[in-house]
Structures are given as structure tokens and as C-alpha cells.
């Protein structure tokens, strides 16, 4: 076989292999079997629980770290006002009443 004849044969074989392998791959943009509505694909998100991560004391001032953000007395957090920052908790108040966020959840004894 001459080089002139071998090159077209090689190209034809390479093309055939390429076409065969692409037939086996699934199109990632093609929908799966059946229809999926957009509402089914959205994750159901709950409002995360209010998490008091830390309390920082600098001199006589205290700051509360709630869900990664820093607050001080008088600031507003999720529609509630920061009323008091204690050593291990924060008192917040809203139209629905007052609530205390604690650093360490209280352990219930049996």
C-alpha cells in the first residue's frame, strides 16, 4: 500500500471511529425521559434557623455575630431589633414579641 492510499484510508477510519463514539455520548442539553417542570427542580428553601455564632467584647461594647453578619444594640436583624447583647446570648424584639438567641443551646435534663 502506498502512502497516498494509506492516508485517505486512515482519515476514513478516524472519521468512522469519531462518528461511532459520538453516537454513544448523550447530549447533556437533551431532557431526560419524561418532562420535568421547573417547579420540581427548584430546591425547597426554608428560612435558616437564626444562628448566633459569636459575641465579641471590645471594652464596654459588645457585638453579636448572627449568620455571619455583625450586629450591635439597636441594629435590625430580619425585622427584629437587637435589644441587648449579653455574655452568652442576644435579646431581639419584634412586633411578634421578644426572643433570645443563645450561643450554646440549653441542655434539657431528664
pLDDT digits (tens, 9 = 90+) for 59-105: 999 999 998 899 999 999 989 999 999 989 999 999 999 999 998 76
Residue owning grid cell 477510519: 13
Q: Is the pTM of this model over 0.85?
A: no
Question: Is 59 domain-assigned?
Answer: yes
pLDDT-derived band of residue 45, with 50, 70 and 90 as boundaries?
Answer: low
Q: Is the dihedral of CA 27, 29, 30, 32 positive or negative?
A: positive
> Looking at the domain assignment, is residue 14 inside a domain?
no
The overall average pLDDT reported for the chain is 77
**Hunting for cell 438567641 — which residue is that?**
101
The span from the CA of 85 to the CA of 54, in Å, is 11
Does 45 reside within a domain? no
Taking only the tens place, the pLDDT of each residue in 52-69 is: 989 999 999 999 999 889
Distance of CA 88 to the CA centre of its chain: 28
CA dist., res. 12 & res. 14, Å (int) = 5
**Domain residue limits at 69:** 52-102
Amino acid at each position: 500500500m502506498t502512502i497516498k492510499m494509506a492516508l485517505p484510508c486512515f482519515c476514513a477510519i478516524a472519521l468512522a471511529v469519531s462518528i461511532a463514539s459520538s453516537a454513544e455520548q448523550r447530549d447533556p442539553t437533551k431532557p431526560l425521559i419524561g418532562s420535568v417542570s421547573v417547579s420540581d427542580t427548584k430546591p425547597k428553601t426554608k428560612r435558616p434557623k437564626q444562628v448566633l455564632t459569636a459575641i465579641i467584647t471590645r471594652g464596654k461594647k459588645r457585638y453579636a455575630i448572627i449568620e455571619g453578619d455583625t450586629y450591635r444594640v439597636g441594629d435590625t436583624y430580619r425585622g427584629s431589633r437587637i435589644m441587648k447583647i449579653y455574655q452568652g446570648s442576644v435579646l431581639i424584639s419584634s412586633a411578634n414579641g421578644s426572643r433570645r438567641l443563645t450561643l450554646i443551646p440549653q441542655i434539657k435534663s431528664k
